[in-house]
Structure formats: structure tokens, C-alpha cells
Amino acid sequence: MKRMPAKKIAVYALTSQGLAVGRLLAARLHGTLYASKPLEAEGAIPFESLKHLVSATFNAFDGHVFVAAAGIVVRCIAPHLQSKETDPAVVCMDQGGLFAISLLSGHLGGANELADRCARTMGAQSVITTATDSAGVLSIDSLAMAKGLAIGTIGKVKDVNMALLENRIVQVYDPEDWLGLAWHAGFEGRAGYEDWNESSPGIWVSWHNDAPEGSLALHPRMLHLGIGCRRDITTYEILDHVHMVFKKHGLAMDSIASVGSVEAKRNEAGLLEAAEEFGVDPVFYTTAQLAAVDAPTPSDRVQQHMGVPSVAEASAMLASHGGQLLVSKEKTSTVTLAVARSNRA
């Protein structure tokens, strides 16, 4: 599956009163505690300049909790902001532990949830200012994250959320009901292209690369890659072939859920780097596991070199846990790819 690690949280304390709050937060959040050097805080990592520290930590953590004034925090993080899709969560808490403010990446980064956790820890009040949350309206980006869907057209999130805020109907194409909105008020089901109105806001959920123009494309992570490759293959060769095959078959890159191969490739740098590009942890199977799979197109050459009749197809089929093989092996001179889809849970 797509990588869903435990979130790495950094907690920052600037004052002695704030340090007491920071210690409680770091303990509850399993976070790393940073404290201003003059505090001489045992168990905390000291820093002299918060601005310089944030330059090093901003992209190294999934979330940041500052026990400090909001103005100080804004000035420190401002130079590092990139986009709502990639920026980490930032929460600001006063040194008295009274309020936890979701400051940055409330939905996609999880700052709203992080602020709530901080508030519960301190018996405080969380301050959430995102429009949908303030209005008590469903946020489509939060729902997509909760359902494990990748957002393909991030710029369209605001169109759908605005429609929901204004009580306008949002059209939805989601034949497998990944979002669970089949009976939800405010959404109107669509059968497909023939019923789609491109002038109205809409959500298109598919593991194909087929979303209509102007729609919010959401992609369930359910495509499993099986890859066989030559020794010392480059990352580029793998990425180029995967992109070519996905384009040929109309598959969505954002729906990649795993990359699998034979155990002998565990240390193949190009393969490891390709899996990282796809945002997944690679899975490696023993020859016994692969040999037990009845792959549709076995290879004598693969049997001779790897000791199994199939690597790509067998790996994809194993990773999908009995799902459908969508793409039988397609190969270049250096890499072989097969794609299987997992069954809808």
C-alpha cells in the first residue's frame, strides 16, 4: 500500500512556561522536543535561533507544534512555504496552553487534527479557521485523505468545497463508492461521461487517467506494479517504462499502491529509488513465493537467470492479493513491468 508512516512531529518551546507545555505535547504526540538553549532543558534538543532551526526541520517533519506567539511562527515558516499539497502541518499554541491554532495545512497536512490533539492534551480550545470546518460542512480534501484517495487535480478542491459551502449540488462519478457518498445529501451521482456537466463542479473517482476537464480527480490506490530488471538499472529507465505503460493503458499514476520484485533485487538502487518516486515501500518476494504463482506468461529466460518462471507478473499478482492482472508483462531491454489491481475491499 501507499506509504502511511506514523507522523513525525516537532515541538518547539521558547520560554520556561512554554517548555512545560512542550514537554506534555511531545510526550503525548511522540514528538521531538526542541527548546531554546538558555532554558537548559534536559531531554530537549537546544537551539539558538528558531529561524535557523526551522530552515533545517521544516521539511523533515510531517507536523510542527510551536509553543510561541503566532507572529514569531509566521515569520519563521514563511520562507519555506511551497503549496498546500506538500507543506507540513503547523500548529501554534500559547505558552499557557489555552489555545491550539491550526496555522498551516489544515486539511491535507493534518493541522486541524493535530490542533485538536494538542487541545485535548492540554484541556485547551482548538482554533480551526478553514471555511468548511467553521461552517460544519464536509471538506472533500479531508474526506479523500480519510478514504486513502490521492488528489489528482489539487486546484479543483476549492471549487468543490465552495460549492458545498454554498449548498450547491456537486456531481460525483464514483462507481465503486470509494468516498461513501452514495446516499449523502449535497451530492448527485453520475453514470459517466454521457451524464457529466463540465460547467458544474464535480468529483471523478477512478484508477484510470480519464477524469473530465475541470473535475476534481481522485484516485484510489489499488494498482500494484511487478517489476523485473537488469542489474544496475537506472531509476530513469524504470520510471520511463512505467509512465509509458500507464499512458498506453490509461492508468493513473496516483493509483500506484505498491512495487514488488524478487528478493534478489532488494538492493537494486534504481528500483529502490523508483519506488520512492512512487511514494511506496518496495516489497520483495522469495523465489518460492513467486514460483507458487501461476503467471500467465512464464519465461524460460527468467527461469534460467532468477530461478523462477515469472518475476513481474507473479510479483504484481502477489501484491494485489488475488486481484485482476490488468497488464501482462511489457518489457524493454532492461525492465519488465506487469500491473495488477487489488479487489475493492
- Assigned C-alpha cell, 156: 479543483
- Assigned C-alpha cell, 71: 507572529
Question: What average pLDDT does the segment 67-76 reach?
Answer: 93
pLDDT of 136 over the 60 cut? no
**9-129 in CATH: which number?**
3.40.50.11220
pLDDT of 198 over the 90 cut? no
> Which CATH architecture is the domain 223-341 placed in?
2-Layer Sandwich (3.30)
| Distance, CA of 18 to CA of 24 (rounded, Å) | 10
Q: By C-alpha distance, which of 60, 62, 34 is closest to 48?
A: 34
Q: How high is the pLDDT of residue 1?
A: 35
- Of 114 and 169, the one with more pLDDT: 114
| Total length of the chain | 345
Domain range list for the chain: 9-129, 140-220, 223-341
Q: In this structure, are residues 315 and 223 in contact, taking their beta carbons and an 8 Å threshold? A: no
pLDDT tens for 77-122 read 999 988 877 889 999 999 999 999 998 877 777 888 899 999 999 9
Q: How high is the pLDDT of residue 194?
A: 83
pLDDT of 145 over the 50 cut? yes
Q: By C-alpha distance, which of 7, 63, 62, 14 is closest to 37?
A: 14
Task: Fill in the amino acid letter for 281.
Answer: D
| Distance, CA of 19 to CA of 67 (rounded, Å) | 8
- Of 180 and 74, the one with more pLDDT: 74
Confidence of residue 240 (pLDDT cuts 50, 70, 90): very high
Q: By C-alpha distance, which of 188, 189, 249, 259 is closest to 223?
A: 259
Q: How high is the pLDDT of residue 197?
A: 86
Residue 13: half-sphere exposure toward Cβ, Cα within 13 Å? 30
pTM over 0.85: no
